[in-house]
Amino acid sequence: MTKKPTIRLVLGDQLNALHSWFRQPRDDVHIIMMEIRQETDYVHHHAQKIIAIFAGMRDFARQLTEAGHQVHYLTIDDPANLQSLPANLDQLILHYHAKAFEYQEPDEWRLDRQLADYVQQQSIACQMVDSEHFYTRREEAAELFGGRKKWLMEHFYRQMRIKHGVLLEADGKPVGGQWNYDHDNRKSWPGLPSEPADGRVTHDHSTLWETIEAAGVQSFGRPNAAQFPWPLNRSEALQQLDGFIADALPYFGQFQDAMSSKAWRLFHSMLSFALNTKMLVPAEVVAKAVAAWRAEAVPLAAAEGFIRQILGWREYVRGMYWTHMPNYAAQNVFAHERPLPIWFWTGQTNMRCLSLAITQSLEQAHAHHIQRLMVIGNFALLAGLNPVEVHHWYLGIYIDAFEWVELPNTLGMSQFADGGLLATKPYVSSAAYIDRMSDYCKGCYYDKKLRVGERACPYNALYWDFFARNEKQLGSNPRLGMVYQQLRKMEVTAYNAMQAQAADSLDRLDTL
């Protein structure tokens, strides 16, 4: 009599070849993977994001099969594919007469809830196991802060450094005498050193893209299917990691906030897709950065700044997400309701900084954190765009955007829609910051120095108008005292002209 098997589900962002599930093939286990419309359609996704996840899933299934694992893979165009996670699971459990169902801890609340509801209805044994990826458990950040309403990432980050022994002296103090070298990492890029060559392996995914389109999946952005640059598997991701450590990390720290029309990657790692699909393990990425510093191949400020993003910020926002979901997704402290301007989908705006950042996002499915925060997110907040719409756009357009990491970054850090749970102040600026950190203002239709008039940069009036209209929520924020002092000193004539300019910009967002 054939032994009844266990069904194990692997989601599209669980491509972790090092997971204990895959150490040894088992005759009584079937690995289930599926490309489903449920996942392509819950928001409007960039074409490259869909291609990259499906291509990664298919290669992962191939490697598991070659290693002796039994894999049942449902492609997007498989006639047996019911395009829904629960429906497909029902069908496969019945097909295999499965005795048990197991799945790795999902990273998104939506899928976690769906699978939790699903297993409650099952008569067979069900189990959720750890994804064996993160430094922390879902609830660990909340436990660390002990129920305190206000969290500080810096406190969390230091505790993670201590717990995991990262960049510490023998006595437990931080190497170099400081925990944080952020003040050394805020330079604009003068053009040298040159941006490293893009060493990513490219693939021709034209056939896969044709299959995705034929299946009726809707998307936006440039597919770039014939010369696709995102990693297919762990091996390619490791090559990319090594290339970053050798060629870009030495300069990453000082230029991590810089932006340039001449170099869209600059010295950023481009590893977030591989990390968020679990091709790479964060601990190995951190270990390589530490090793490079110890070998004196990179400055301490660069290594620390990069490590802080992974060991600190990435784990911190995950803790914020799991502590405050599902209500977090609906936060809108300023009651912002304006829809996204049409140029969010085309990049066709006279504001050069936004045109460059959005066009790059549409073409590459990627923008670095300052482009996302201080160009696109900055404008969205100043203009009072609906934070849920902004969230859905970020979740769809960026190849590394999975809700657990994207939602807190967008609603909390970028849009301050949570009222300060994540960030201590809104991250907004006038044109001056963008000009200081980039060459985006050069050749722009608008004048970065003007506050009013037809050619005045929209950021300038919108900046002051944002603080004026939100004084009730922000006026007592200790980090904004100087802003409100300046606002109160503004002459009445100038103040009224500024507000009129802002109102005009808000009335014609689509044509700015």
- Tens of pLDDT, residue by residue over 294-350, are 999 999 999 999 999 999 999 999 999 999 999 999 999 999 999 999 999 999 999
Among 121, 39, 111, 127, CA closest to 82: 39
d(CA 379, CA 356): 14
Query: How many whole angstroms separate alpha carbon 61 and alpha carbon 325?
Result: 32
pTM assigned to the model = 0.96
Q: What tens-digit pLDDT sequence spans the chain (512 residues)?
A: 468 999 999 999 999 999 999 999 999 999 999 999 999 999 999 999 999 999 999 999 999 999 999 999 999 999 999 999 999 999 999 999 999 999 999 999 999 999 999 999 999 999 999 999 999 999 999 999 987 878 899 999 999 999 999 999 999 999 999 999 988 778 999 999 999 999 999 999 999 999 999 999 999 999 999 999 999 999 999 999 999 999 999 999 999 999 999 999 999 999 999 999 999 999 999 999 999 999 999 999 999 999 999 999 999 999 999 999 999 999 999 999 999 999 999 999 999 999 999 999 999 999 999 999 999 999 999 999 999 999 999 999 999 999 999 999 999 999 999 999 999 999 999 999 999 999 999 999 999 999 999 999 999 999 999 999 999 999 999 999 999 999 999 999 999 999 999 999 999 999 99
Give me the helix-helix angle, 492-507 and 458-469, nearest 10°.
110
Return the H-helix or E-strand segment holding 33.
strand 29-34
Cα gap 418→406, rounded to integer Å:
14
Q: Which domains does the chain have, with CATH numbers?
A: 6-129 (3.40.50.620), 140-196+248-324 (1.25.40.80), 342-511 (1.10.579.10)
Beta-sheet pairing, 125-129 with 45-46: unpaired
CA distance 145 to 140: 9
Contact between 468 and 501 (Cβ < 8 Å):
no
